[in-house]
Amino acid sequence: GAGVSQSPSNKVTEKGKDVELRCDPISGHTALYWYRQRLGQGLEFLIYFQGNSAPDKSGLPSDRFSAERTGESVSTLTIQRTQQEDSAVYLCASSSRDRGGLYNSPLHFGNGTRLTVT
Amino acid sequence: RKEVEQDPGPFNVPEGATVAFNCTYSNSASQSFFWYRQDCRKEPKLLMSVYSSGNEDGRFTAQLNRASQYISLLIRDSKLSDSATYLCVVLEGRSQGNLIFGKGTKLSVKP
Query: Which pLDDT tens digit goes with each residue over A2-36?
Result: 799 999 999 999 999 999 999 999 998 888 999 99
Question: B-chain residues within 8 Å CB-CB of A45?
Answer: 1, 99-101
Query: Which pLDDT tens digit goes with each residue over A38-96?
Result: 988 889 989 999 888 889 898 899 999 999 998 888 999 999 999 999 999 999 999 88
The per-residue pLDDT of chain A, averaged, comes to 90
Per-residue pLDDT at B83: 97
Contact (Cβ atoms closer than 8 angstroms) between residue A91 and residue B19:
no
Cα separation, A57 vs A90, in Å, equals 15
Helix (H, G, I), strand (E, B) or coil at B30: strand
Cβ distance of B43 and A112 shorter than 8 Å? yes
Question: A-chain residues within 8 Å CB-CB of B34?
Answer: 106
* Window 80-99 of A, Cβ < 8 Å to B: 91, 95, 97
Cβ distance of A31 and B44 shorter than 8 Å? no
Per-residue pLDDT at B95: 58
Distances (CA, A) of B28 to A19, B41, B49: 39, 33, 18
Query: Which pLDDT tens digit goes with each residue over B1-42?
Result: 458 999 988 999 999 999 999 999 998 888 889 999 999 989
User: Nearest chain A Cα to B96, which residue?
Assistant: A103
User: Which amino acid, A61?
Assistant: P
User: Nearest chain A Cα to B86, which residue?
Assistant: A42
Cβ distance of A103 and B103 shorter than 8 Å? no
Question: A-chain residues within 8 Å CB-CB of B91?
Answer: 103
Query: Which pLDDT tens digit goes with each residue over B33-90?
Result: 999 999 998 999 999 989 888 899 999 999 999 999 999 999 999 999 999 999 999 9
User: Nearest chain A Cα to B44, which residue?
Assistant: A109
Cα separation, B76 vs B59, in Å, equals 5
- B46 part of contact set with chain A, CB < 8 Å: yes
Cα separation, B100 vs B61, in Å, equals 21
Cβ distance of A56 and B45 shorter than 8 Å? no
Question: A-chain residues within 8 Å CB-CB of B104?
Answer: 42
Of A42, A103, A110, Cβ closest to residue B96: A103
Neighbours of A89 (CB within 10 A): 22
Cβ distance of B101 and A43 shorter than 8 Å? yes
